[in-house]
A = this chain, B = another copy of it.
Amino acid sequence: MSVTASPDVNRVMCPSRLILEHVTSRWGVLVLAALLERSYRFSELRREVGGVSEKMLAQTLRTLERDGFVHRDARPVIPPRVDYTLTELGREAAEQVWGLARWTERRLDAVFLAREEYDKARTP
């Protein structure tokens, strides 16, 4: 951060906290990551993400769509076909969280090591 003045953490975070929670939510992260690769239909995405209920996937997609991250393309055919795609804004968001995810992945070992030491230190 700008190490200089007092960035008043809360002032910066409060307005964007809800959005942050949307993109970093359990399913939000996975949906954005999946869509970063390509567009998906609803059921396809559900299989791709794995473990998500219909309700949560629908809710997540609605939230992301409302925030302008995801474009919903519903075609008037029988049976219904709905494709979900990242918008440009969504692609930026997805790249950010994907970056964070990859950093976490890279440093996994360090975290596990730290945990081991932490636990060992207080279980004599």
Interface residues of A (CB under 8 A from B): 1, 3-4, 6-7, 9-10, 12-13, 15-17, 19-21, 23-24, 26, 29-30, 33-34, 36-37, 47-51, 65-68, 89, 92-93, 95-105, 107-108, 110-111, 113-115, 118-119
Contacts and interface: CB of A to CB of B under 8 A. Distances in A.
Contacts of A7: 33, 36-37
B104 A16 contact: yes
Contacts of A113: 68
B48 A105 contact: no
B1 A33 contact: yes
A60 B26 CA distance: 18
Copy number of this protein in the oligomer?
A: 2
Specify the main secondary structure of chain A where it touches its partner. Answer: helix
